[in-house]
Structure 1
Amino acid sequence: MRRESALCAIGVALLAVGCCAPTQHKQSVDIELPSPIVGGYEHVSAFLPDDEAAAIVDGFDWAQTAALAETAPDGSPAVYYVVIRVDSLDHFDALEASYTPWDVQPLFPSERRDLPDEPLTMSAGGAHGGWVFALLSGRAYNYLRDAALRGEPLFEVVALRDVPPEVATHPGGSIDIGRLLASGAQWPRPPRRTLTSGDAVGAQTAALTEALTDLIAGFIQVGQEVVDAILDFFASIFGATSDTASVRVALTISTPDAEFVPANAPLLRTWGPTRGAPLENVGQEVSLQQADNPLARWRTTLTAGNLASFEVPSGHTYRFCTRNELGGARVINFWVPTQTCSAPFIIPDGAEAVRIAGPLADQDLQALTIAVDAVDFFATLQAPIRPPIIASGNHAEALAVSGNGFVVGLGGRDPATVIASTMLDGSLAAASTIGFPELGIPPGLPLFGIPGGPEAGAAVTVIRALMNVDVVWPPGNPSRLVFAHELGHHALFQRLIAATPPFAPHRYGQHLNTIFLGTVANGFAQIEPGNPFFEAMSINEGVADLIGGQLAGGGNRLSIRMPGVYTGNSIGTPAGVGQPEVYCDATFSGPTPGCFDFNVRGTEATVWRVPVNLEASRISTTLHDVIDDSVGDITHNGNVWQTRTDCPGTFERCPSSIALVPLPDPSAGLAEERVAQPLGAVLAGLGFWLYDPLEGSVFAEQGFMHGMTRAMRVYGATDDEICQLYGLHTPGGECPAGWMLP
């Protein structure tokens, strides 16, 4: 709604701006976001050109800088245009808590590159790290400079940037904030966020935490309070010079995974009382950003139902964007969270009520959503895991060691991060990021690339950036299945840490080292049964399949690529066999013993060595049947689907849409186990195993399964029932003596 003409006259007198046209007819507008792109969105980054970034890094030295004026000639705070290299999560948190206006793109229209009119993922990364463009007060700049000259640099690089000619400046180079706002820029106040000592992400020293807190206090003192005063003054004149629209967004978080049927289906919860309902990212920051004014950005957070509300000027083109962090989980490109943005849309002049609805189906948003779902899942089990930090974009690509492959991560930032291997498009990559000093293995182990595609991998040196991430997930990998599997690794290692007995704290590192050596160092040779690392790899992959199968991405459990079977909800009965279920046959009756990966991709499981693949399948399907909801054929049951035997050629050549058929009557046609335990039984089994004085010190299948047997006993299963279940997953149907306790 417009101000009285008297206020407009004041604006003309003060800043020589014109009044606005008469109010147009108000209207309601419905905007439908377009169907998402199968396979995910283009990832756009490196907004600071690589050659420019290199020149800044090579030429910047805090000792060669000069203090800046803190006050402009008109008495207002002096504000400067800068680029900042963000070198850690802590530094990003400090920047964010300071209320400093920043973006991964340049802040002024003449600098911005032309972007395609389609949904995008945008991030800060480039060849020389993560860069953000910001407006920084002179006093804040001097604060940073003084800290650096004391030997305590909080940002390694804060370089002044030339202000484009269309932006008014004061003598001395500071930006005329009043003119900037008068030109149409908005400076929305973000939700107030504070970072206090002890709240920073990661393992920080007390001194760094205190310094960051001091920095933020300094920013707030010279930044937000001054900005508030400026905004209050100019808002009284210019704050309503445009018609405003009340915008309500109803977001659907969909999958870009081409293997999901139907394409672009929403991500659904696959566990708990709300199983089958769309996943919600309540609390995730979202924004409306003007395409023609980089500083015009309105921020809020999603509420129940993935709803968001805004008040924004009409008559502009906008993108709706999500910032991919929530509850401690983050998808980052060189420490700055990535953004998933819709295609541009116009809120027309005169629009008063705008309803926007539709999907975003982006790899990074999907990864965040599944990660948050995993954290919630384990919280309900009273077995918490740390929210994962997921590297994307250039950050992840810099860590990839195979020409057309990718690296996927598992483990923890404290005490170690380990990278596992996964097949995708015929390429392999595997790595460990830091060593285990207690075992005499130093940090800086090389990354190993295993040739598997048209381009062979290459060994590269581990870089420091990898030490503080949990999952490495480069662009171009929209698979829900694989990502959920890798979160399974992350969760397994988190629970191994929790279950490690205090009398043997070295066991976690020892077992992690065994997995590393088995997965990576021996990955160049065929790993057969009898190899000391064979069983460790089988357990590692089998448990990751188990955990991943409980999540939104695991096995596409609420869908299957098979005509006439998809139900898309938790109460449908595909092929008349109960809850939607897509796990493979676990009874070794098909041409190849199956695991739940088979039916989604029609390919081998995620472990590339076939003997390990089969044993990992055995571990996975056994544990799935351990946690069956009941003895009937419902969710989690490994015996619902049967691999086909009549496909032409090899199994791998069967189209994924026909590679599996449902068993006509599984409950009558197959023996069924009589053990039904919660997943907590499996987690308890980890503790029973690790606490055993002898078996807990060896990462071996017998000790691991002895732990599971003990846990099932505690939960009320008899040895006969346990033996029957184990027999279902053993060739010949015999009870494996090595898995039962003496």
Structure 2
Amino acid sequence: MTASPFIDLAVTSGGDAGSVLTSRFEPSTPQGFSLQQEYAVAGGIIANGTISFVFRRPNGQDVTCTYQGQSPTATPTTQEALLLGRVLRFQGCTDRQPASARRTGTNFRLTVNPAPNYPVTVKSPVTQAGGCTDEMEIITPVETARLRREFSWARAQKVAEVDSRGAATPLYYAWVYLRHRDDALALRRLSIHLLSRPLLDSELAPHAGKCGVFTNPGDGNGTFVPVLIPGATYNRLIDLQTTRDVTGDRTIFEAVVIRNLPSGLRNANGSLRLELLGRSGFRYLDYETTPLDRRGDIALESGSVARVLVDATAWLLTRIKDAVQLITTTIASVFAGPKVPVTLYLHAVTQDPAFVQPVAGIPPTPDPVMIRGWGPLANHPLAAAGMRVTILQRVGGLLPTALWSKTNNDGMAVVDMFAGETPRGSGLCLQLDTPRIIMTNFLVPADLCDFRGYDAARPTPGDFRLDEIGEAAARSSSAKATVHIDHEWLSALYQSDDAALWARDVIPYETPHRQRIVAGFWPTTIRWVRNEKVFPTTSCLSFLQLTGTGAQLVLNAATRGDGILTRAGLPPTHPAAAVASQVFLNTMLAADSLLPDGTAVRAERGLFSHEFGHFLFCSLLHDAQDGAVDYMARQAVGGTDLTTPLQYTNEGIADFISGQVAGSAAYNWPAEIWGFHPNSGTCYRKTASTASCFDANVTGAPGQVGGIGQPNVGRIATLLHDVYDGHGQRFALVPGDGDIWAEIVPRPTAQGAASLGVAATGFGNLNDPERVRLAGDTLKTFAAHFAERLALRSGDLRDADTYAALNAAMSSASQSWCDRCRVFALHSPSAADPPTVGNLFETCLADGLVRDALGGPPPEPSLRLNAATCTPCAPNETSNADGVCVFCPDTVVGNRCVKCPADVTFDGATLTEAEVNAGLVAPGDTCPDVFWAQVTNPGQLVTRGAHGLTVDLYPNILSVPAECQRPFTLRPAREFGSGLQFEPPLTASGTFNTEIFAGCGKPVVRYKMENASLSAPVLSVWFGTPTDSRTLMLLDAAIFPEPK
């Protein structure tokens, strides 16, 4: 399933009046192809505009083929006219050949002449070109609208409920109209078998030679899906309209249309011949795991309340259970024939330039497959477990055989195929859903099918050659095949599923419902294009109940200046605005993420890991607090302004997730960071070099990296990365370092090997001065605090809220003030480059955002901190640049070690007693906050007969209680040749006497330095106290004869 050469031949018009837009493709070799007679635009409305498709024949002659939109007017406003305006019909080619003729050409041009003011995206009309980009319609939008319009339950006729022998319950091929996920739920609860593609060979044969997805976007209100429905169930749906046993809403499905079958497939009563169905390998409800006796317990994936009344469903269940069981048993009893197993490995190709050609000058790698980059399966080909893989064989006349199995984590599926048969063709289909992700055109899972070998008489090059596999199976009773698939939808599903597994195993967390990715027409109609690049969108609207005020709030956001509808060219003033708004609500309710045509998902390894990151965070917010996710959803549809905190925070969180899962970022902030590929955002290490990648400390400073708003996306992404990296357990189920990939030299020679592979050793955890390494489960704590603050702000998020939530997550994991500070400060514009621990501590007090986020002061107000333990240094120590406590030989002032001058000096040769005011400050004092009294020649005090030196502190006003009862501190020190040696400080508060002699008892603090401490080698003694004019210091040398 390789890429089509026409994959990029598409044109998007914003509907500007008079605009004529052309896309060109010039392959190096001639390409074979056919044209479609009629096909739908990829998105938007062509109305009655035209396109011309030009190619050059091998003889050099140009051929022009023309198509026209089928709307009766250039300005359609009704639903019918708009639906017709989605269809292009072949008008003819200058070579006068029909559309289906096989052609060969080069120098292709696609030109679109749109209707004024109607945005449209058109792909080339090419089909059967050997690639895998075809779109095969299950039912057209026009036919959908017609069938829905013509159906009425009041006119519905009952069908047979038993066969002619009364032994089996008839089964009917039908269309069921679905509008909401609730309707899809009702299919399951009522045991109606949903088909993801057409059932009959006559329906599949027109797609022989094609490869691509079955599409069914519907009419804007709903879509018809093919089903097999028991006659008893259909009749009870009719009875439901008139029974007295049910009250309220009686309509479960708006329309169920019984379809006509070819004569060889139908019974006389119009039902399907069950024996033929059984021989084809079909088994009724074989995709279900819930037992039939518990159908009423099936819950809606989103957890919302279904609109169908429970009593109505219960009424039906009691009346159809036996019929469903009989059908299941009857079909299962049919022997389909001998089989042999085929082992398939289903891998997705990436076109990420980092994997195809990471370094200029190195030859590109052809079709490298995506590789998983985390956990125990790192370095295995990326795949998704639980995907249904079906092999189809045309061995009968009316029904192809269809046997299936499901993939494992390596993308392996062992599928049976019928033995002893020579099929007239074969096909391979993948149902694009897993237990975690569903890829859909609207409501039900999409099928990606390779029918290039479905007509064995004229296979298309590049087909899935089941005939060759069958020959090998016949010889060995088994066979193996590896299938490399290059398709946008599968790439997105694999990437999202990979991220969902990471969330399950590392956080650990499972989202409340599967991520629903809507692809194709509707997303392409409202797609977001910036600088000619198409972006996917994750709005998380599936978490909302879009009715009443909630719907209006979403529409208001979507239609404002940069809203998703206005951006798509459908503002409130557009003639079709009313229909567009209703269609938007109808389709967006089914979506978590939108995958329009033309995104870079094939060229960016982590793009949908990023989109799942949005969905994951929405899920965490939804679980944490009701209504919090509403703000994220409205922001997603309301604009793309990266200067708003909620926008860039949302994107930064998603880039953090894609960094963890795929080692890549979706935004442009890594543009100037060593290690990121400039064209894909994938981080990798070149040979013999380092790479900073996600360990770069983006600060959000204007102009730092990327474009407008990009630095803030990078700041949030790398801040989160710093909080969670550093576990040192490569590929364990813990947050990683984002250092997944490395250039492989010499490059592997095996087919499909990439230029990049999983690095043998890590390189992303640089020597940053931060030590936090939170466990994955704290992401829930972060989201809970984020949700709370988002709700309090009514969606007007500030950086302070994000930082406070992250601080709460770190605090919950017992991270110290010092460690939390270091993480935040690394991402402050005021941090030094390169930073030191000491500088980071200072930044945490100087940067108001960081200071407030930390939620409290540091353990020591002057930052004299031992960074390893986050405890204060000793009184005679300061904290150096590395956060290590070091001895200060002089005076500690704040966190500085300084040589303080004496504010007053006494000579030991003359001092007897002196009282001084501690408010004195020497001129040019470098320590103005400390009053120092110095006594020089202290040995002379001993020579003169002193019995030590006593120093007292007390207030200068003894009669005021407050002056007395405040704290007083005295810090003694002795000076040696090496500097000051401090003694422990003395601190005390005074006692105020209220008895006969009222007043403050003095001294408040008393310290006596003995003679031994005054003698040589002591050069001088010092006594310090905080500078305060209310404090008096008394120095008493006590020179008098010692009492006998």
Please report the TM-score for the alignment, with normalisation by the length of structure 2.
0.52
| Pair 1:298 & 2:403 matched | yes
**Partner SS for 1:549:** helix
Work out the number of aligned pairs and report it: 624
Cα gap change, 1:95 to 1:434, in 2 (>3 Å): closer
| Pair 1:225 & 2:316 matched | no
Counterpart residue number, 1:625:
722
Is the 8 Å Cα contact of residues 617 and 783 (structure 2) preserved in structure 1?
no
Once residues 313 and 198 of structure 2 are traced to their aligned partners in structure 1, the CA distance between those partners, rounded to angstroms, is 25
**Partner SS for 1:733:** coil
Query: How large is the RMSD of aligned CA atoms in angstroms?
Result: 4.6
Once residues 317 and 345 of structure 2 are traced to their aligned partners in structure 1, the CA distance between those partners, rounded to angstroms, is 34
Counterpart residue number, 2:57:
none
Cα gap change, 1:219 to 1:287, in 2 (>3 Å): farther
Once residues 304 and 434 of structure 1 are traced to their aligned partners in structure 2, the CA distance between those partners, rounded to angstroms, is 39
- Of the three residues 352, 355, 363, the one matched with 2:480 is 355
Is the 8 Å Cα contact of residues 139 and 224 (structure 2) preserved in structure 1?
yes
**Partner SS for 2:725:** coil
Cα gap change, 1:379 to 1:388, in 2 (>3 Å): same
Is the 8 Å Cα contact of residues 402 and 458 (structure 1) preserved in structure 2?
no
Is the 8 Å Cα contact of residues 387 and 432 (structure 2) preserved in structure 1?
yes
**Deviation (angstroms), 1:640:** 12
Is the 8 Å Cα contact of residues 496 and 608 (structure 2) preserved in structure 1?
no
Is the 8 Å Cα contact of residues 351 and 367 (structure 2) preserved in structure 1?
yes
| Pair 1:707 & 2:707 matched | no
- Of the three residues 51, 73, 92, the one matched with 2:142 is 51
Counterpart residue number, 1:549:
659
Once residues 332 and 378 of structure 2 are traced to their aligned partners in structure 1, the CA distance between those partners, rounded to angstroms, is 46
Once residues 764 and 415 of structure 2 are traced to their aligned partners in structure 1, the CA distance between those partners, rounded to angstroms, is 52
Aligned AA (2:146): A
Aligned AA (1:298): L
| Pair 1:196 & 2:295 matched | yes
Cα gap change, 1:615 to 1:170, in 2 (>3 Å): closer
Once residues 543 and 370 of structure 1 are traced to their aligned partners in structure 2, the CA distance between those partners, rounded to angstroms, is 17
**Partner SS for 2:609:** helix
1:414-453 matched pairs, under 5 angstroms? 414-415=543-544, 442=553, 444-445=555-556, 447-448=558-559, 450=562
Cα gap change, 1:54 to 1:730, in 2 (>3 Å): same
Counterpart residue number, 1:333:
441
Once residues 537 and 683 of structure 2 are traced to their aligned partners in structure 1, the CA distance between those partners, rounded to angstroms, is 31
Please report the TM-score for the alignment, with normalisation by the length of structure 1.
0.71
**Deviation (angstroms), 1:408:** 1.2
| Pair 1:321 & 2:429 matched | yes
Is the 8 Å Cα contact of residues 289 and 296 (structure 1) preserved in structure 2?
yes
Structure 1 or 2: more helix by fraction: 1
Aligned AA (2:511): I
**Deviation (angstroms), 1:495:** 1.9
Once residues 453 and 142 of structure 1 are traced to their aligned partners in structure 2, the CA distance between those partners, rounded to angstroms, is 42
Is the 8 Å Cα contact of residues 542 and 590 (structure 2) preserved in structure 1?
yes
Counterpart residue number, 1:420:
none
Is the 8 Å Cα contact of residues 196 and 447 (structure 2) preserved in structure 1?
no
Once residues 379 and 103 of structure 1 are traced to their aligned partners in structure 2, the CA distance between those partners, rounded to angstroms, is 30
Counterpart residue number, 2:390:
287
Cα gap change, 1:231 to 1:385, in 2 (>3 Å): closer
Counterpart residue number, 1:62:
153
Is the 8 Å Cα contact of residues 378 and 384 (structure 1) preserved in structure 2?
yes
Aligned AA (2:295): T
| Pair 1:489 & 2:489 matched | no
**Deviation (angstroms), 1:704:** 1.9
1:75-90 matched pairs, under 5 angstroms? 75=166, 77-90=169-182
Once residues 383 and 454 of structure 1 are traced to their aligned partners in structure 2, the CA distance between those partners, rounded to angstroms, is 36
Cα gap change, 1:119 to 1:617, in 2 (>3 Å): same
Is the 8 Å Cα contact of residues 390 and 429 (structure 2) preserved in structure 1?
yes
- Of the three residues 404, 407, 413, the one matched with 2:542 is 413
Aligned AA (2:850): W
Q: Which has the larger radius of gyration?
A: 2
Aligned AA (1:458): L
Once residues 178 and 639 of structure 2 are traced to their aligned partners in structure 1, the CA distance between those partners, rounded to angstroms, is 36
Once residues 562 and 34 of structure 1 are traced to their aligned partners in structure 2, the CA distance between those partners, rounded to angstroms, is 26
Is the 8 Å Cα contact of residues 344 and 482 (structure 2) preserved in structure 1?
yes
Q: For each residue in 1:474-517, what CA deviation from the matched residue of structure 2 results, as whole angstroms up to 9, or x when unmatched? A: 343351433222222222222223334xxxx56x26xx43x567
**Deviation (angstroms), 1:108:** 2.5
1:522-671 matched pairs, under 5 angstroms? 534-552=644-662, 554-555=664-665, 561=677, 574-576=686-688, 582-583=693-694, 585-587=696-698, 592-594=703-705, 604=706, 610-629=707-726
Structure 2, unmatched stretches of 5+, are: 9-130, 244-248, 357-364, 451-462, 572-579, 742-754, 756-762, 833-842, 857-1044
**Deviation (angstroms), 1:50:** 3.1
**Deviation (angstroms), 1:622:** 1.8
Once residues 161 and 411 of structure 1 are traced to their aligned partners in structure 2, the CA distance between those partners, rounded to angstroms, is 36
Counterpart residue number, 1:126:
218
| Pair 1:272 & 2:378 matched | no
Counterpart residue number, 1:160:
258
**Deviation (angstroms), 1:621:** 1.6
Cα gap change, 1:253 to 1:611, in 2 (>3 Å): closer
1:334-413 matched pairs, under 5 angstroms? 334-342=442-450, 343-347=463-467, 348=470, 350=474, 352-380=477-505, 381-386=507-512, 387-397=514-524, 400=527, 405=534, 408-411=537-540, 413=542
Is the 8 Å Cα contact of residues 653 and 716 (structure 2) preserved in structure 1?
yes
Cα gap change, 1:539 to 1:200, in 2 (>3 Å): same
Once residues 729 and 169 of structure 2 are traced to their aligned partners in structure 1, the CA distance between those partners, rounded to angstroms, is 70
Aligned AA (1:338): A
Once residues 155 and 175 of structure 1 are traced to their aligned partners in structure 2, the CA distance between those partners, rounded to angstroms, is 22
**Partner SS for 2:160:** coil
Is the 8 Å Cα contact of residues 543 and 622 (structure 2) preserved in structure 1?
no
Once residues 68 and 358 of structure 1 are traced to their aligned partners in structure 2, the CA distance between those partners, rounded to angstroms, is 44
Counterpart residue number, 1:3:
none
Cα gap change, 1:291 to 1:554, in 2 (>3 Å): farther
Cα gap change, 1:215 to 1:117, in 2 (>3 Å): farther
**Deviation (angstroms), 1:375:** 3.1
Once residues 422 and 195 of structure 2 are traced to their aligned partners in structure 1, the CA distance between those partners, rounded to angstroms, is 23
| Pair 1:250 & 2:312 matched | no
**Partner SS for 2:323:** helix
Identity of aligned residues (%): 20
Counterpart residue number, 1:457:
569
Counterpart residue number, 1:311:
416
Structure 1 or 2: more strand by fraction: 2
Counterpart residue number, 2:594:
472
Cα gap change, 1:319 to 1:276, in 2 (>3 Å): same
Deviates more, 1:543-552 or 1:404-413: 404-413
**Partner SS for 1:337:** coil
Once residues 657 and 682 of structure 2 are traced to their aligned partners in structure 1, the CA distance between those partners, rounded to angstroms, is 23
**Deviation (angstroms), 1:142:** 0.9
Once residues 274 and 379 of structure 2 are traced to their aligned partners in structure 1, the CA distance between those partners, rounded to angstroms, is 50
**Partner SS for 2:539:** strand
**Deviation (angstroms), 1:680:** 4.1
**Partner SS for 2:665:** helix
Counterpart residue number, 2:80:
none
Aligned AA (2:261): V
Q: For each residue in 1:415-470, what CA deviation from the matched residue of structure 2 results, as whole angstroms up to 9, or x when unmatched? A: 46xxxxxxxxxxxxxxxx67865xx9656546237499999622341323322431
Once residues 415 and 241 of structure 2 are traced to their aligned partners in structure 1, the CA distance between those partners, rounded to angstroms, is 40
Structure 1, unmatched stretches of 5+, are: 1-32, 417-432, 529-533, 595-603, 605-609, 642-656, 658-664
Aligned AA (2:323): V
**Deviation (angstroms), 1:712:** 2.9
Aligned AA (1:204): V
**Deviation (angstroms), 1:722:** 3.7
